[in-house]
């Protein structure tokens, strides 16, 4: 059985997709961007955007009954690979100890012209 996960503590979907789906004890998030859910604003700079995007992802996972410690895989999409080190510093604030597997790729453009987008697969 598939359960749609939705929360106002993470940015709403801006297209025909769900924020996350839970199936068989696993949570699959859509890509999460650094939009402040309460205002719709996007923070300036890669550090602030990374912090907001990952914080939004964690809020979404928590709404699904999961959390950062249950993430098994993330995919990080970034506008500029030169920001990799800065993103790692922010990422390490949220994911500690047993780090999830991760891919990180540079992309030409992201929704709303943000600098980072992140998605995750987690245990419930």
- Positions annotated as catalytic residues are 104
- Distance CA(64)–CA(47), nearest Å, equals 26
Nearest to 77 by CA among 113, 42, 45: 113
Which tokens go with 115? 């600098």
Nearest to 110 by CA among 54, 32, 37: 32
Which tokens go with 94? 């949220």
């Amino acid at each position: 059985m598939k359960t749609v996960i939705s929360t106002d503590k993470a940015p709403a979907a801006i297209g025909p997709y769900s924020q996350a789906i839970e199936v068989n004890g696993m949570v699959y998030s859509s890509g999460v961007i650094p939009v402040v859910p309460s205002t719709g604003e996007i923070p300036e700079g890669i550090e602030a955007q990374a912090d907001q995007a990952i914080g939004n992802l964690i809020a979404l996972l928590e709404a699904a009954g999961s959390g950062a410690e249950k993430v098994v895989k993330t995919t990080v999409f970034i506008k500029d690979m030169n920001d990799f080190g800065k993103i790692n510093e922010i990422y390490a604030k949220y994911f500690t100890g047993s780090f999830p597997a991760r891919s990180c790729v540079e992309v030409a453009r992201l929704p709303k012209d943000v600098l980072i987008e992140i998605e995750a697969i987690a245990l419930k």
